[in-house]
Chain A
Amino acid sequence: MLTCKDATRLMSEAQDRPLSVGEKLQLEVHLAMCRGCSNFREQMNFLRLACRRFMQRRNGDDDGSSPS
């Protein structure tokens, strides 16, 4: 069984590489049962989104509507 601590590591790595089928399966089973970790995943996705938006704002502050 995956612990929450290990799940956070996998969720971080999922931002950097495709997880293996086994890893994905373990993670999904864990997330289905764990509210804290599914919130953690949402938060990781939020960070990625915020970083992208941050760069868009830097890049074209006069035209925030068009991501390049």
Chain B
Amino acid sequence: MLKFAQLQLRDAALAEDAVQEALVAALAGERSFSGRSALKTWVFSILRNKIVDLIRVQSRTTNISALGEDEADMDATFEELFKDNAHWRPEARPFGWGDPAETLREERFWEVFETCLNHLPEKTARVFMMREFLEFETDEVCRELSLTVSNCNVILHRARNGLRRCLEGSWFAPGVSAC
């Protein structure tokens, strides 16, 4: 849980506080739980709200849509994948990643996955994780972070492509795929 909060907030102290508060809030509640997993789900949903609150506060002080150096680098790298006619360069063409279920069973894959998430620029990662991990609808993410829809789309596209490229380079090395 702590690791999850850290991944989202990129701030160890803030993450620790959020988890602690979530645990306290969960234990203070009057709900009864049928089992360990129900309790876990409950604590987690409190943590999710805490994380969103913190992100909301942070988004007031930083401009999420401002293009940082890292984001500009990612966009330049993306452009380099294509020829002048906007079709894939042969060497950059996405290849098949094989059987997803098999990959997801590999313990080492998850280490690579986390590393790649941490490689994403902070603001890009935040938008992506709100969408994919906290499972907000895209228009909610935009609203919470005061982004326009098209801005949101650009950021998510950047995040997905960045993650895709990182996994392709670090895990799915070219030429290794079965087909």
Contact = CB atoms under 8 A, between A and B. Distances in A.
Chain A residues touching B, range: 35 or more
Contacts, number: 92
Interface of B: 1, 3-4, 36-37, 40-41, 44, 82, 85-88, 93-97, 100, 103-104, 110, 113, 131-133, 135, 137-138, 152-153, 156-157, 160-161, 163-164, 168
Interface of A: 3-6, 8-9, 12-13, 15-17, 34-37, 39-40, 42-51, 53-55, 57-60, 62-63, 66, 68
A4 B82 CA distance: 8
Nearest to A68: B41
A65 B157 CA distance: 31
Contact of B153 (A3, A9, A63): A9
A3 B87 CA distance: 6
A20 B86 CA distance: 23
- By secondary structure, the A interface counts as helix
B94 A43 contact: yes
A55 B133 contact: yes
